[in-house]
Structure 1
């Protein structure tokens, strides 16, 4: 009896469907500052990675565009001189169905970037290697924590605006 009830409940909630339609580099910039300066020698790189996410509905039903924007800066630990700057806007187009409306925003900004992250990692590694540096292998990004931090930042910002009004 319990199995029949569980089966009926499973049939009532439609299965979430998601697949990647396409993915592409919208914008990519790599500036090898070290080579432009003409300096060399031993450097101790300090790499800073900033990640920004954006999602928007496309005109086709159930399609969403999710952009992952990276800004990576490598500086010499000793002199603080910039070694390289890499900026990339990487987009995935997703077909998403049966995600409840209240869960769609976190789904788009957590699950979708997680799906395309291995491709982003590979591009960053190739570009830094081709730019004359050791390949930069990005560590996994905790998209859940990134999402929570952004929600907290927006709530704080909204509270500050309310207090100033």
Structure 2
């Protein structure tokens, strides 16, 4: 029979495993679920558009939004708008609002913000890209496979731009 000294103490284990003692204070974030919130596919010039010979010019727009659902859950919304235009008009228009519920615990506000506007969209994008490809294919056109996006790089660039604007507004009026 083993004595108490032989029982491993998971709460103090060097491998970082946490026991059920309520001391789970490590930052944690992850996607709970993801879903299509809104999807619109228009083929406004069909059937004539299937006879057009020119290549469509693509106008692709992205927007990221986030809102708190409760203290530990937020919704990230990745909006993608695609308009494929030719000389005679639009081949197709796809508007997608692809969302994910994310859980975040034991994170600073800066960490939460970075997760909601950089890492979360990075995790959602491959699934939203598939929806856009399927929608364009189902509309009768070649599937539009969107290029990968560096959400982390865009996030950092936006932070730098905001910092530069903040510095300019503070010091720009003096001279």
* TM-score bin (small chain): 0.7 to 0.9
- Mark the structure with the bigger radius of gyration: 2
CA RMSD in angstroms comes to 3.0
Instruction: Find the counterpart in structure 2 of residue 29 from structure 1.
Output: 40
Distance 1:121 1:149 in 2: 23
Distance 1:26 1:115 in 2: 17
| Structure 2: 5+ residue stretches without partners | 1-13, 19-23
Distance 2:126 2:162 in 1: 28
Question: When the two structures are superposed, what TM-score results if normalisation uses the length of structure 1?
Answer: 0.76
Distance 1:71 1:156 in 2: 29
- Of 52, 65, 75, the match for 2:75: 65
Distance 2:40 2:150 in 1: 24
Distance 1:154 1:26 in 2: 30
Compute the displacement of 1:157 (Å): 7.6
Instruction: Find the counterpart in structure 2 of residue 118 from structure 1.
Output: 126
| Structure 1: 5+ residue stretches without partners | 1-6
Q: Going by fraction, where is helix more abundant, 1 or 2?
A: 1
Distance 1:145 1:91 in 2: 21
Q: What is the aligned residue count?
A: 154
Secondary structure of 1:109's aligned partner: helix
Question: When the two structures are superposed, what TM-score results if normalisation uses the length of structure 2?
Answer: 0.72
Instruction: Find the counterpart in structure 2 of residue 84 from structure 1.
Output: 92
Question: How is 1:16-55 mapped onto 2 (pairs within 5 angstroms)?
Answer: 16-35=27-46, 38-39=48-49, 40-55=51-66
Compute the displacement of 1:156 (Å): 7.8
1:33-56 deviation per Cα after TM superposition (whole angstroms, max 9, x unaligned): 2316x2413121221211100111
Compute the displacement of 1:16 (Å): 3.0
